[in-house]
Chains A and B, each alone.
Chain A
């Protein structure tokens, strides 16, 4: 990357910062309206109790548990694209990592609210650590999710540190009110050799740590279901199946966000068809893995046909839930995987379309895990029914809108592509070091 290209790269990376054009404010208005509607529905539920939802005595878990698993799954894109690509030293990752890490944090924060929304007594949420019964999967979930949130924030923040001086220099007079914030957050970064070394070590440790953390979160989320005696839930493959599902939906979400932001922020020069092709390979590898896990689960259960699993399998394959199941497995898994890697024109468009289908399909799959397992007649009674009310639907839409809202607000303050990481993969010796920035004492060995 020559000096001019690097300048353009930095310019694009900081382009959205402080820029409030009509499209920006329009998006903020629309997304905020959806989030506020969701908040209103939640407040309504807090005042009136869970009776305002479609949940009932038989189906006592519904949209909230589905969304919790779904949104936390989306956050795996960060762990995958950023950490694994970093560890395998895949150089093409550089312009994508920031977006992937930010998406992870946004989705994770949204997903982590859902266990609280689902509680009958959310006011007692904080008593869980007080009375924590370590044998309960809910306690495992809480420990795993909160550790993972902390790690995801650190994983987003660490690579940001060296970008603050660069961004401040590139922003020029646009940086007036950001200066103090950046100086505070940059922790006195001057780019000395010692600092570089410490940062590289820190990011390396986080990249290693975040993978087992991510794996642990969806494993214990899976145990929430797998430790019960319900049909379709009590499965030994559930933990790895959940982890793979989360990674698959996470990579799909990263493709989507990258595809959208590339257009919105004009990053076409640096995020190219190559990136989408590589991400598609990742998507397909995970998708095929997921398909394999899923088939092996259904074959094992379907062959023996135990009394608890049979009704669920029948309902999923041929019964009331069959439309959703076949829509997911064909339209949300097999077809998009072919679409994403088939040779031909429009690789970017196809990767994005495939990702939309995968993300939607993975939501359906979580629905197919939670609801039929709940509705199944475990006693000699009829199938349970579940139809969500406006409360659950509004909260779901509001929470989904919160993710793009968090992202565009975040990128209004912080560079959308990592400059330091690009410098790193391009080679330290040939990189153009940032000039001495007024306000940043020292300036290193320039």
Chain B
């Protein structure tokens, strides 16, 4: 409880920071890469064990190897630095997860975690000045977006054969984001605001097979109900008081009332945008343990977005990620299962990852989506450690990772991405049938 209290306070303190990175502006935003500090520690794609020997917090087929019920909470923060551009720091809750192993054969789990981050603040690099009825008028575009999509995962897994487990996760997507499309005229923003309320369901299928000393892992994602959004478009206005809200507040520093007045504008128009995210993916992982405690792993995953992605979706860059390929190599030094020596309870992780993302673009002339040449390639590494404590096996994990994203888009260029993740897992004995006295 002491640790949870502290974690809660820190989560509240740090939650004042918000996320922002250029990929947040692509399509439905930047998808979450790791949902736990342990998976991040060896750049895992979530299939191979990283939490402890034979256990990954992201793979339900491995949960039956846990002895106790686990409550795990993760928090992460990132810093995005773009060359000759901007530097942004952000942080948020990484995940909150409850895992219930049943008789070392089955497992159930629920998890809440961000699915995509959409926070982005873009400023047009091309400002212009026009002559309007003899007066000089300056003009600058700005796009702001905040919010994102959350995922609530319901997972189950079972050992169907002595060496084979399968698992399934139903991923309920929900959340909202707010967009603010500004055209600053003589520094007075003409603001076109909209809201998107998301809903959708994905399914993730997992399989694990032990093949001699090698463990094989498979993961596939498909969409049961493609992501859709209820788009609410508000009437545009001049934000004279520059407070970001359509209101009737007078500000002496920015004199004037918002125009038109909030009471005069028509009701917001709503529209349901369907088929905006329909993912499919297939991943394979292989791991082998050497020297009882050293695990070497390799993972590959290919993702595809099969959605039509309606053109009416607010999209700052006019791009979205349609394909992505991920490769990761990990090395983990697991702790002893039972040891009272301090050093034997440590987990050390390291990983190396290569990712590539393919974008498509909406052509304003042909009104069609076409492949875009501005793709992204990413190369990164991660380092982490964890410490197991108490007899039930509580664990605290720390991870640092860094990657370099090369955006073909000349305006963005290279992006240095650094992150820090912390996770804590509390174990307890649940669902034990007490003996009658």
Partners in one complex: no
